[in-house]
Each structure stands twice: as C-alpha cells, then as structure tokens.
C-alpha cells in the first residue's frame, strides 16, 4: 500500500517546481525531455527511433526511481502522522474564565488560556500544569502505554496536547498557539513538510552541482571534438553521436546516484530518530549530533541507576558479618526506600537471611526523620519493654545516639567509614544497644554496559563529562568507575551553562540532556540539547530535540544517528563518482571505436578502450544508462537504512567505507554494465 | 632507461627533499609575522620601501582588501608591460632597433607575464628590446611569482589563525617575497649560470661566419639574470625563442640539472612552510609526498611511452625535437618538471614527444599544476584539491568535514568548485571553439589527433598558467592572442580570488581541537585519497578530449600511422 502511494508520488514529483530543488535530477529531467523530443523528431522524419526511445525511457526511469526513493522515505513517516492528526482534530477544551467554564474548540485556544482537564479528557493543547496532579496517558505521542504523573510545580509540569488524562483533575495554562503545538511540529516533521536543506546537505549539493557543471562542459564540448575528429578522419559519426546519446553520456556521468538519493537519506535519518521516539526540531540538529565532541551527562538516571544500593557489610572487630547483616536487615524492614530495600536484599543474597517473622506487637519501628537521621527497630519483650534496640544511620547520627549510652565508635569502624566515603559510597553505621556492629556501604550503582558505551564514545573521539550534585570525592569515585573522561561535582545549572560556553569557546560542540526549568538556558546554549518529555515546558522549548521516552542514555544513540546520516551521504557520493570511470570505458569506445579506422570493417584504434568487450556501440550505451538507473533502486534500501555504523576511530571508518564504496564503486559498474550488456544483446534490444 | 638516468632522477629527488625543510623554515620565518628579517640592513631596506610607498606594515587586511590590493597591483602590471612593448621603439636599450610589438601580441604577453604564465606567442630575441625584457618582463617574473607566494602564505594564515579577519598585508608579503627570497636566490643562481656559460651583456646580435662560410647572427643580451628568475619563479619565459634548448640559456648538463631543480625548489619548500605555519608538519610532508609520488609516476610513465617502439622507424626514443646535447632522458624529465610545476620553460619541443608523453605533459597541467606547481600556485591549487578530498572523505567518517580544525561548509565548497571549474571551462570551451572556427583551425600545422592536441595544449598551457608551447601551432594571431590572454587571465585570477575568499572565511572561523573522531590529514591513507581525488577529478574532466587527442594518436602510432 505504502509502495503504491510511493509510485503515485514518484509521478507527482515530476513537477518542475519539485525537480528544481535538486540540480542533478533537474538536469537529468531536462535531458529526458530533450531526448524524448529528439525521438519525436525521429518519428516525424521517418528515421528509426527504437534505440532513442529506449534511451529516453531509461532516462525517465532514472528520474522516477529517484522520486520513488524520496516518496518511499516520506511514506514511512506518513502513517505516524495520520495517527497523530487523529489525536489533534476532535479535541474539545474546557476553558476557564474566572470561575466560569466554557466549551471551545481546541483550535480557538491561545497561549495564556487556562483549561480544565478531568479524567477521560484529551488535553487540548501544549501547556503547563498550574494546579493539581493527574495521571496522563501519553501513548498517542510516545507509544508508551504506562501512564505518567503530571503535577503543578517541579520538573513534571509539562503536558502535551492530544494526550489523555486518566485520573484526577488538573488546570493547564496553554503555552502554544494553534498550529505551533508540539503535535503540529511533530506532524510537520514526520511528513517532511518543513524540510529545509541542512548545512551539510547544502554543501554537498554545491559539490554535486559543480560536478554536474564539469560534466556538462566535458560532454558539451565533446560534440565539437567529435566533429573535428570525424572531419580529420574523413568519417561520418553523426549516426552515432546524436542528442539522445550525448544526453545519455551526460546523465551517466553526473552524480545521479547520490543526487537521486540525497533527500531520501535526509528524510530517513529523521525517520530513524522518530522511530527511537526522539523529535528533533530541525535537521540541522541531527547533523550537529554527528559532530558532537563533548557529552554532558547527568549522573543520576544516565550513568547510575536512580538510587543508592547496599553493596557491602563491614563488621566491627569481633562481630560476625552475618550478625551485622541480620541486624541491618532488621533495622531496614520497615524502611520502604530503595536504599532500605537494597539492604534487605543484600543480606538475603549474602547470608541467606530471610526477613524474620516479626510480630507487629513485638516490634516498634523507628522511622527515619530529618532530626535523628536514623531509622531502626525496637524489639519488645512480652511486657512491652525494649529487648533489643537496633539503629542504622549516618556515622555522626549514630555516634550521637551511642554517646547517650557512653559508647564511642571503635577506631576500626571509623576507618571503615572513611574508606567507604573515599570510594564514593555512603556509609551507614549499624548499632545494637551499646554495641557497634559495623558499617553498611551504600553505593551508586553504575548502569551495566555504560562503561563500554563510554569507551566506544572515546574511540569515536567524544568526551563524556558527568554532572552531579555529589561532593567531589564521591563524584570522582563514580566517574572513575563509570569511565567518564571528566566530571563536575556539586554542579549548579549556572556551572553547566558556563562549562558549555567554555567548551564551545575552545571550538568543541556540546550535547546535553535536561528536564528542569533551570536546565533551559544550558539546553538552549548546547549545540544539541535533548529535553526529556517528562520535563518542564521551558526545557522542551529550549532544547532542539525532545526525547519522548525521557531516557537520558538516548543521547548516545542520537549521536550515532547523526554520524550515520553524514556517512551515508559521503559514501554514496564516493560511490557515485567512482562509478564514472567504468561508464567512460563503456561509452567512449562505443562512440569513437570506429574513428580513424582506415580500412573498412577494421576496428578503430579507440576500440582498444572497450575493455569490457561490450557487444556493440548501441548496447554499450544502453547498458550504461540502464545500469545508472537501476543502481538507484538497488541502493534505496541502503539510503533508507543508512550505512552501517561502528564505534571506531575516524581512520578505521574511513578505511572501511573507502574499501566498500570507493573501490566497490570503481569495480561494480564494470561487472554490472557487462551483465546488462549480455542481457541487452541476448534480447536483441540494441 | 640507463642506470645513470636513474641515478640522476634519484639525485634530483634527494636534493629536492633535502632542500625543502631548511628553505621551508626560512619561508616560515619570513612570513610568520611582520618582525624584521634579514638583519639590521635588511630591516632598514624593508622600512625604506614601506615609508616610500606609505605602507603600514603592521596593518592587516581582510580578504577583500587583500584581494583588492592584489588585483590593482596586477592590473597595473598588465598596463605597464603592455605600454613598454607598444613604445619600445622609442625607448632606450634597444640596440637591434626592434619595432613596437603589435597590440594584440603585446596584450597577450602582458597578461602572460603578469599571470606567471609566460606564454610566448613571439620569438624573444627578435621581438623584445633589452629594456622590455628587463624592465617589463623580468620585473613581472619577480612580482608575479611573489604574488603567487603571497596567496599561498595567506592560505596558510587562514588555517593558522582563528576568529580574525586579518590575513596579513599584501604589500609586506610582496616586498618580502621579492626582497628576501626571489632576488637573492636569483642573484646566486644567475652567477652560477653565468659560470656555466649563460650570456649576460647588453650587446646586440653578433655576426659570425660558420665553417660552411655562411653568416650566422648570434643574438646576445642580459639572459642569465632572466633565466634565474624564470626558473625560480616558475615563469618559464625564455630570453631566446628556443628557451632552455638554446645553448646560451642552458649550456651544460649541470646548468640543465640546476635549472630543473630551481623550478621545483620553492614550490617544494612551500609545503614545509605550510606545515610549519599550520602546526602540522606531517601534513606538510604528506603534501610533499603526494607531489613527489605523482611526479615520479608521471616521469616513469613518460619514459616508458617514449621508449615504445615506433613502428615507422622500428625503434623507440627518437631524437627528433629532443635536447640532443643532454639526451632523451633529460628532455623527458624536463618536460615533466616544467609542466608539473607551472614553469613552461622547455628544453625539447613537446610536439616531438611520443603521443602519451605529450599527453602526460598535458595532464600535468590539466590537473591544475599541483605537482609542486607554480610558486605559490602549486600549493594553493593543491589546497583546493585537499578541501575537495576532505569534504568527500570527511563526510564518510560521520562528521561535518573539517580541515585542520576548520569546518568546511557550503561557502567554502562554492569557492572551491568555482576555482576548479573555471580553468577547466576555459580549456574545454576554448579548444572547442577553436576546432569549430576557421580562425582557430588556420593556425594548425598538423591534422588529425595531433592537431587537436596542439590546440588543446595551447589552451591548457594558458589556463593553467604554464606557458610552455607544444609547437606546431602558430599562436601569434589576433584570434589566439586574445583567446589565450582571456584563458590566462581567468586561469590565474578565477583561482586566486576564490582561494583568498576561502582563506578569509577560514581565518574567521574558530578552530576545533582534533580528536579520535576527526579526520586526519597527516596519514598515508589521506595521501592515497588525495592522489585519487586529483587523478579522478582531472581524469573525468579531460578523459573524453584526451581520448581524441594523445590517446588515439598513441594507438594509431602503434598501427604505424602518424600525423
């Protein structure tokens, strides 16, 4: 179905206004017109026209194949755009004016309007929650079915038009006017309607146009040289050197392969991002992603899992590790924080300790408070008196508690505390009554595989900088474990902004992710700023990409997509230019093979250039044109998929792509043209 | 190829390589900044020129100002050379009483010498007075070379500097190039050449009676002073019509060797200066290596072609038209050197080379004369190819193309394309128009593919600012004088102006530090790529016309057919 639409669009795109945007294909199109006109003249004058017609048809095919590639690339986004549009159209809004509520169409909302949304309502436009909290189904844009929480204030206040409130009631202040909402931008983007040429695409177009001019010169003047040579040899070449043949030579030489696939490559690059749930506001940002030198990454959520986890029990002298673990588990049973749970789990894993069957009436849980900074449990005897008092907490807090019992921390435990802190962890002391049992080490757990990811980035020449609010000691330890190149401890948004400016002043391109309103200036300053969809509206407006999954690790994938986009363009350009060598060896001997052949029937001297041994001059020309057209269709999958990307250094990538697309581009047309020639000759087409 | 020939080629390359770093270091010091060079006396001399002409040496120019100064200076140069020729009959130092030069030949010669081409549609000794040779032509030999040098220096500054519009001062670069490089080097080389027997006097021709009793006119004049700069400045305009094949211009094997070396020495040293100024000396050597490789490869190809047995004679390595005193090898080597560099001096008639050897000389020029090339012109021509290579390959590594930390964007590529297309267009269009018009065809001495080669060679030599001639074509006609003058002018300034614009754009950019992800330009892989791009771009543009000229002639010759 999609393919049928694409075929229809291929013809629609023959419109000169469309072709004009792509100089290479415009020249091809003109050539096809010229060649067809010459067929018409042939027919009118009663000359044989079969060969010229075949050339003309294949020239038209060349243009159509290029159109088809573009239409196919666009078609992939269209289906997504359709479903997005459905979300947009039927929305009704409940606008608040004072205490009055009026029903208006979503299209009538203006920035600043307040609207009410209750469970079951579609949110009518992009905005900021100013009152209330609600769970929202954002699957229409993210594809993620699990509902998310949106609340006023804080970093989760942005809502998107077209998403659905599942529960509760919120008041939203609209921030985007009609036609400028996130959904509108997204639709325009996936449809390719707003597509402008990106800087690199523009530069490449200049080079391709330059090559086209060179070949127009070479082929245009060739007619003069051919006439001179024919006169010098006393021969008549006018039967072979005709307008369709010269046009065929020109079209074979100009870079139609890359010219025809250029926009398909760009569109599918954007499409790859969209399929990873990243919305870029411009193609420029995608390209910039490939150029990134420095990644600023937030520690929490990107480099480490969100929470600290218990990793070790360090018993005090004379205490069994199992005893410490048991007490620690006991103290954490009522602790519902992730840290507390991790202690219970660690004790279970290390010592097979099951959470003991505590009878609620026999235990009094002591919750964590900001004052005591400790939590624990008092086990009671049958009379309700404290039998065992277990506490866990920060070193100084437990020390205070112990001081009441005239006990101080043993020296070994002090050392353990310092040791854990130095390694970037957070130590908790466990004490039972007047006994210090030991230390639990809590640590930020670095995400699995992230170190390898950073190593890859380093090979690609990208430096990673970890941003964290931790103190320098902790930050340094985590930085070392995660393998980042640099870190910023106790970082504030202002420091982030300053760091970005500093890197940029040194000529580097910086990418970062962010979600809070205070990240907005840094997001705007960064060359690539990826805002989390879960973040505030201000952050989403400031960045040039929005990640619908709100996954900060995605930045790495975005960089890869950007690089892949540029690589695909470069590789196909190289391929296209390298192809020309073989085409010369096909067409020039075809045109001039008989030149200066002095005895009749003898092959001319330039037939020595017919190294492919092509059947006849006409079959050689036709084969070259057919190859040139077919190679475009053959490469459409590559253009849509992108050249394979590997995280290795520039030289290795270059060597690989040169071998495949440079050498391959040199050799493959020799094989392809020869094969087509055999078929053309067998079918008696020329 | 005899062992001694191989030894000579090896010695040539070794000497060239050895001279490159010290001279490169000297050039670097000369053009790095405006600090005085050449000791107190040199500094005083330099200051004198600036005070005299009201140049403020510390004042930088942006690219437009630089280009403006350069164009004004060169256009005035055309006017002066033109007028000298028109009025030479009324001016002193004309012992032979030569008449004024025709207006079209004078215009052609004026453009020719100002553009460092030194295409000569006339015979020097019977056309130009001593005054014209010295005050007009030799002066341009110096300043046209210094102009090219200045442009190359500006390219290096464009890379080395960042966030600035200041590219240096044209007048300072010009004065320094002449005063501290070309002039002293020419004096030294001139004296050596005089020692070898090159004439240097103000006499008119002498009449002598030969052994056969015939009276022979032997022209004399201030030759050595012009020969030295004609080689060092890659100008190539001979004092005598026979150029370096004339015994008074090129008397001994040693003078022949030194002259070839002199052609290459400054262009080669510029690669070293470029590496030093841009902070990547390895990159400088990579450029040198690519040039040296192409030079050696073309030399061997040309020698092979020359040795192919000519079925008409049953032997190869024919002596007709070659430098009979120094042999076929030195004729071939000279032909490659002179067309690789933008020199154009010849010691053999290129029309007498075997078809493919002549074709290689043509190809050398069609590639834009980047194999060492003209003084400055070789480097900035190579710079254009480097940008093209970096652009294509840079995309392939997945980044916006970068050259030594400078992003290469649409603006740069637009200028690169203009600079590469303009000379090619002059060559192809000029040749095409000539083979279609009676005015173009009537000057031909030979028919068939050889005739095509003659016209193609003339336009190629002009547009590439080489100046060597293929012989066989009478180019001193109104048609050819004007057409070739246009080709020379476009071939020079439609390259220089874009190059200056690119340098200006690059200097204004910031410089990004290199990383593992950046594209490296100091590796063997880059050298291979650059070589490939030069050959493919040049080859694709000119393969069709070459196939109808030298290539078909080669195959015809194998069948015993000549033209």
Other beta carbons within 10 angstroms of residue A59's beta carbon come to: 28
pLDDT of residue B78: 96
State which residues form the domain around B171.
21-205+216-275
Measured CA angle at B86 (ends B81, B89), to 5 deg: 115
- B393, A649: Cβ pair inside 8 Å? no
Q: Which of A69-73, A219-223, B197-201 has the highest mean pLDDT?
A: A219-223
Look at residue B179 and tell me if it is in a domain: yes
The conformation of residue A612, written as its DSSP 8-state character, comes to T
pLDDT of residue A233: 86
Any B CB within 8 A of A663 CB:
no
3-state DSSP percent of chain B in helix, strand and coil, to 5: 65, 5, 30
Q: Which of A208-212, A325-329, A612-616, B445-449 has the highest mean pLDDT?
A: A208-212
Output the pTM of the full model: 0.87
**Shortest CA gap A445–chain B (Å):** 29
Q: Which residue has the higher pLDDT, B517 or A558?
A: A558
Q: Are B502 and B390 a contacting pair, CB within 8 Å?
A: no
pLDDT of residue A28: 95
Tens-digit pLDDT profile for residues B377-424: 999 999 999 999 999 888 888 888 989 989 999 999 999 999 999 999
Determine the average pLDDT of the residues in A244-272: 91
For residue A251, count CB atoms less than 10 angstroms from its CB and return exposed for 0-12, middle for 13-18, buried for 19 or more.
buried
pLDDT of residue A355: 61
Look at residue B85 and tell me if it is in a domain: yes
Instruction: Return the residue matching tokens 């016309």.
Output: B545
ipTM score: 0.91
- CB contacts, 8 Å: A566 with chain B: 395, 398-400
Any B CB within 8 A of A247 CB:
no
Any A CB within 8 A of B190 CB:
no
Percent of chain B past pLDDT 90, that is, above it, reads: 51
Task: Locate the chain B residue with the closest alpha carbon to A582.
Answer: B540
- CB contacts, 8 Å: B424 with chain A: 214, 217
- CB contacts, 8 Å: A207 with chain B: 388, 391-392, 413, 417
- CB contacts, 8 Å: B559 with chain A: 605
In B, residues 391-410, which contact A (CB 8 Å cutoff)? 391-401, 405, 408-410
SS3 A210: helix
Say if residue A660's pLDDT is above 80.
yes
Least confident of A493-507, A668-682, B168-182, B213-227: B213-227
Look at residue B59 and tell me if it is in a domain: yes
Provide the pLDDT confidence category of residue A331 given band limits of 50, 70 and 90.
confident
Which among A205, A228, A654 has the least Cβ separation from residue B435?
A: A228
Determine the average pLDDT of the residues in B112-129: 83
Task: Locate the chain B residue with the closest alpha carbon to A663.
Answer: B532
Least confident of A189-193, A310-314, A607-611, B552-556: A189-193
Say if residue A196's pLDDT is above 80.
no
Identify from B384, B544, B555, B558 which residue to disrupt to test chain A contact, counting A C-beta atoms within 10 A and taking the largest count: B544
Identify from A208, A215, A288, A507 which residue to disrupt to test chain B contact, counting B C-beta atoms within 10 A and taking the largest count: A507
Any A CB within 8 A of B417 CB:
yes
Tens-digit pLDDT profile for residues B76-113: 999 999 999 999 888 888 877 888 899 999 999 999 99
Task: Locate the chain B residue with the closest alpha carbon to A655.
Answer: B525
* Catalytic residue ranges of A: 298
- CB contacts, 8 Å: B561 with chain A: 596, 598
Q: Which residue has the higher pLDDT, A138 or A69?
A: A69
**Shortest CA gap A464–chain B (Å):** 13
Question: Reading across the β-sheet that carries A386-393, which strands appear in turn?
Answer: A304-315, A435-446, A426-432, A386-393, A374-380, A363-366
A185's tokens? 């931008």
pLDDT of residue A543: 84
Percent of chain A past pLDDT 70, that is, above it, reads: 94
CA distance B89 to A236: 52
Other beta carbons within 10 angstroms of residue A516's beta carbon come to: 18
Tens-digit pLDDT profile for residues B378-388: 999 999 999 99
In A, residues 550-589, which contact B (CB 8 Å cutoff)? 562-564, 566-567, 569-571, 573-574, 577-578, 580-581, 584, 588
A626's tokens? 């057919």
- A217, B541: Cβ pair inside 8 Å? yes
Say if residue A364's pLDDT is above 90.
no
As a three-state string, the secondary structure of B283-324 is HHHHHHHHHHHHHHHHHHHHHHHHHCCECCCCECCCCCCCCC
Contacts for B43-52: CB closer than 8 Å, 24+ residues apart: B45/B179, B46/B175, B46/B176, B46/B179, B49/B175, B49/B179, B50/B171, B50/B172, B50/B175
The overall average pLDDT reported for chain A is 85
Any B CB within 8 A of A502 CB:
no
Say if residue A183's pLDDT is above 90.
no
CA distance B318 to A336: 99
CA distance B160 to B152: 13
- A569, B395: Cβ pair inside 8 Å? yes
Say if residue B312's pLDDT is above 80.
no
Q: Are A313 and A279 a contacting pair, CB within 8 Å?
A: no
Look at residue B374 and tell me if it is in a domain: no
pLDDT of residue A234: 84
pLDDT of residue A357: 54
Least confident of A502-516, A524-538, A583-597, A598-612: A598-612
Q: Are A367 and A342 a contacting pair, CB within 8 Å?
A: no
Q: Are B355 and B550 a contacting pair, CB within 8 Å?
A: yes
The overall average pLDDT reported for chain B is 89
Look at residue B115 and tell me if it is in a domain: yes
pLDDT of residue A652: 87
pLDDT of residue A360: 58
Any A CB within 8 A of B438 CB:
no
pLDDT of residue B16: 96
Tens-digit pLDDT profile for residues A130-140: 888 888 888 77
Which among B397, B425, B511 has the least Cβ separation from residue A653?
A: B397
Say if residue A29's pLDDT is above 60.
yes
Say if residue B526's pLDDT is above 90.
yes
In B, residues 373-392, which contact A (CB 8 Å cutoff)? 388, 391-392
- CB contacts, 8 Å: B399 with chain A: 290-291, 563, 566, 650
What is the count of structural domains for chain B?
1
CA distance A476 to A474: 5
pLDDT of residue A191: 66
Say if residue B202's pLDDT is above 70.
yes
For residue A44, count CB atoms less than 10 angstroms from its CB and return exposed for 0-12, middle for 13-18, buried for 19 or more.
exposed
Look at residue B557 and tell me if it is in a domain: no
Q: Are A148 and A101 a contacting pair, CB within 8 Å?
A: no
pLDDT of residue B97: 80
Provide the pLDDT confidence category of residue B194 given band limits of 50, 70 and 90.
very high
pLDDT of residue B105: 92
Which among B405, B512, B548 has the least Cβ separation from residue A229?
A: B548
**Shortest CA gap A548–chain B (Å):** 25
Provide the pLDDT confidence category of residue B158 given band limits of 50, 70 and 90.
very high
Look at residue B56 and tell me if it is in a domain: yes
- CB contacts, 8 Å: A291 with chain B: 399-400
Percent of chain A past pLDDT 90, that is, above it, reads: 26
Least confident of A96-100, A188-192, A261-265, A602-606: A188-192
**Shortest CA gap A516–chain B (Å):** 30
Assign residue A395 a region: left if phi > 0, alpha if psi is -120 to 50, beta otherwise? alpha
Say if residue B338's pLDDT is above 60.
yes
Q: Which residue has the higher pLDDT, A549 or A227?
A: A227
Look at residue B164 and tell me if it is in a domain: yes
Provide the pLDDT confidence category of residue B492 given band limits of 50, 70 and 90.
very high
Tens-digit pLDDT profile for residues A73-117: 887 777 667 766 776 666 778 888 877 888 888 778 888 888 988
Q: Which of B168, B147, B178 lies closest to B78 in space, CA to CA?
A: B147
Tens-digit pLDDT profile for residues B339-363: 888 787 888 877 778 888 889 989 9
Say if residue A547's pLDDT is above 60.
yes
């Amino acid at each position: 179905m999609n393919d049928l639409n694409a075929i229809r669009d291929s013809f629609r795109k023959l419109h000169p206004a469309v072709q004009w945007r792509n100089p290479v294909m415009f020249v091809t199109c003109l050539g096809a017109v010229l060649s067809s006109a010459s067929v018409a003249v042939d027919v009118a004058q009663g000359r044989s026209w079969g060969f010229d017609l075949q050339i003309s048809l294949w020239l038209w095919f060349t243009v159509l194949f290029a159109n088809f590639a573009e239409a196919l690339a666009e078609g992939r986004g269209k289906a997504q755009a359709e479903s997005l549009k459905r979300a947009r159209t039927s929305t009704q809004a409940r606008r608040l004016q004072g205490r009055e509520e009026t029903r208006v169409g979503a299209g009538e909302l203006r920035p600043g309007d307040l609207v009410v949304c209750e469970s079951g309502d579609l949110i009518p436009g992009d905005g900021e929650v100013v009152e209330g909290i609600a769970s929202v189904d954002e699957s229409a844009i993210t594809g993620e079915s699990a509902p998310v929480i949106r609340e006023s204030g804080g970093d989760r206040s942005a809502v998107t038009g077209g998403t659905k409130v599942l529960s509760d009631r919120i008041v939203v202040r609209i921030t985007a006017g009609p036609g400028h909402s996130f959904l509108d931008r997204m639709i325009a983007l996936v449809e390719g309607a707003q597509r402008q040429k990106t800087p690199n695409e523009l530069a490449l177009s200049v080079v391709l146009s330059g090559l086209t001019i060179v070949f127009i010169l070479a082929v245009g003047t060739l007619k003069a040289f051919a006439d001179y040579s024919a006169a010098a040899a006393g021969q008549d070449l006018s039967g072979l050197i005709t307008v369709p043949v010269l046009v065929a030579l020109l079209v074979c030489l100009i870079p139609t392969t890359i010219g025809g696939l250029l926009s398909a490559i760009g569109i599918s690059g954007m499409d790859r991002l969209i399929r990873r749930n990243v919305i870029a506001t411009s193609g420029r940002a995608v390209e910039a992603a490939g150029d990134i030198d420095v990644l600023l990454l937030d520690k929490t959520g990107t480099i480490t899992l969100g929470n600290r986890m218990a990793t070790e029990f360090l018993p005090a002298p004379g205490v069994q590790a199992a005893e410490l673990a048991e007490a620690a588990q006991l103290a954490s049973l009522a602790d519902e924080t992730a840290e507390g749970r991790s202690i219970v789990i660690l004790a279970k894993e290390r010592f097979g300790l099951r959470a003991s069957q505590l009878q609620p009436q026999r235990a009094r849980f002591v919750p964590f408070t900001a004052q005591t900074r400790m939590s624990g449990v008092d086990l009671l005897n049958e009379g309700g008196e404290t039998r065992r008092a277990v506490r866990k907490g920060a070193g100084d807090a437990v020390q205070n508690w112990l001081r009441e019992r005239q006990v101080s921390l043993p020296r070994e435990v002090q050392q353990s505390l310092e040791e854990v802190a130095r390694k970037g962890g957070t130590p908790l002391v466990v004490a039972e009554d007047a006994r210090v049992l030991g230390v639990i080490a809590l640590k930020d757990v670095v995400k699995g595989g992230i170190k390898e990811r950073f190593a890859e980035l380093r090979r690609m020449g990208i430096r990673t900088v970890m941003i964290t609010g931790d103190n320098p000691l902790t930050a340094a330890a985590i930085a070392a474990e995660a393998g980042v190149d640099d870190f910023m401890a106790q970082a504030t948004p202002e420091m982030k902004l300053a760091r970005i400016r500093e890197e940029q002043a040194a000529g580097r391109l910086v990418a970062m992710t962010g979600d809070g309103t205070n990240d907005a200036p840094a997001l705007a300053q960064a060359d690539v700023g990826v805002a989390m969809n879960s973040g505030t509206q201000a952050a989403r407006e400031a960045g040039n990409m929005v990640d619908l999954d709100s996954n900060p690790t995605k930045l790495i994938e975005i960089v890869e997509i950007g690089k892949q986009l540029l690589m695909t363009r470069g590789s196909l350009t190289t391929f296209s230019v390298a192809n020309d060598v073989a085409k010369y060896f096909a067409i020039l001997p075809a045109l001039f093979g008989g030149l200066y052949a002095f005895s009749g029937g003898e092959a001319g001297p330039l037939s020595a250039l017919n190294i492919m041994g092509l059947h006849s001059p006409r079959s050689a020309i036709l084969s070259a044109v057919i190859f040139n057209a077919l190679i475009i269709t053959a490469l459409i999958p590559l253009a849509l998929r992108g050249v394979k990307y590997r995280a290795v250094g520039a030289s290795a990538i270059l060597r690989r792509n040169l071998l495949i697309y440079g050498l391959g581009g040199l050799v493959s047309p020799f094989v392809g043209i020869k094969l087509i020639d055999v078929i053309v000759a067998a079918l008696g087409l020329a | 190829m005899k062992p001694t020939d191989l030894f000579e080629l090896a010695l040539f390359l070794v000497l060239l390589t050895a001279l490159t770093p010290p001279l490169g270091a000297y050039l670097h010091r000369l053009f790095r900044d405006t600090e005085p060079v050449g000791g107190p006396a040199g500094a005083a001399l330099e200051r004198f020129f600036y005070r005299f002409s009201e140049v403020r040496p510390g004042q930088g120019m942006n690219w437009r100002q630089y280009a403006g100064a350069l164009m004004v200076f060169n256009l005035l140069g055309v006017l002066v050379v033109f007028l000298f020729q028109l009025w030479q009959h009324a001016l002193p130092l004309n012992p032979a009483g030569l008449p004024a030069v025709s207006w079209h030949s004078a215009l052609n010669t004026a453009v020719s010498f100002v553009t460092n081409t030194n295409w000569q549609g006339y015979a020097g000794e019977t056309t130009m007075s001593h005054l014209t040779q010295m005050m007009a032509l030799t002066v341009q030999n110096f300043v046209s070379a210094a102009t090219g040098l200045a442009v190359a220096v500006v390219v290096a500054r464009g890379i080395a500097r960042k966030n600035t519009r200041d590219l240096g001062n044209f007048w300072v670069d010009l004065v320094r190039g002449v005063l501290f490089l070309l002039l002293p080097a020419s004096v030294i080389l001139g004296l050596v050449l005089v020692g070898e027997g090159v004439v240097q006097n103000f006499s008119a021709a002498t009449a002598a009676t030969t052994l056969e009793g015939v009276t022979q006119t032997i022209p004399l004049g201030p030759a050595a002073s012009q020969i030295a700069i004609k080689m060092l400045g890659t100008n190539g305009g001979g004092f005598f019509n026979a150029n370096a094949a004339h015994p008074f211009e090129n008397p001994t094997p040693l003078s022949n060797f030194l002259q070839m070396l002199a052609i290459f020495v400054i262009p080669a040293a510029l690669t070293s200066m470029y590496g030093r100024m841009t902070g990547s000396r390895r990159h400088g050597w990579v450029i040198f290596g690519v040039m040296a490789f192409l030079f050696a490869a073309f030399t061997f190809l040309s020698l092979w072609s020359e040795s192919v047995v000519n079925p008409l004679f049953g032997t190869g390595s024919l002596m007709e038209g070659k430098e009979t005193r120094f042999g076929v090898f030195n004729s071939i080597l000279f032909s490659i050197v002179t067309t690789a560099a933008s020199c154009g001096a010849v010691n053999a008639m290129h029309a007498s080379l075997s078809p493919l050897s002549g074709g290689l000389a043509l190809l050398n020029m069609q590639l834009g004369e980047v194999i060492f090339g003209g003084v400055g012109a070789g480097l900035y021509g190579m710079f254009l190819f480097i940008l093209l290579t970096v652009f294509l390959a840079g995309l392939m590594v997945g980044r916006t193309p970068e050259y030594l930390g400078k992003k290469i964007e649409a603006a740069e590529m637009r200028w690169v394309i203009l600079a590469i297309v303009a000379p090619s267009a002059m060559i192809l269009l000029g040749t095409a128009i000539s083979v279609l018009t009676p005015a173009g065809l009537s000057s031909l001495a030979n028919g068939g593919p050889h005739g095509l080669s003659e016209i193609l060679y003339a336009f190629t030599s002009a547009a590439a600012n080489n100046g060597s001639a293929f012989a066989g074509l009478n180019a001193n006609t109104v048609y050819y004088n004007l057409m070739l003058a246009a080709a020379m002018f476009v071939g020079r300034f439609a390259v220089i102006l874009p190059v200056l614009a690119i340098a200006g754009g690059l200097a204004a950019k910031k410089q990004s530090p290199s990383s593992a992800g950046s594209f490296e330009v100091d590796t063997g892989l880059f050298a291979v790529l650059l070589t490939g791009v030069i050959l493919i771009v040049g080859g694709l543009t000119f393969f069709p016309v070459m196939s109808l000229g030298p290539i078909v002639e080669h195959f015809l010759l194998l069948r015993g057919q000549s033209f």
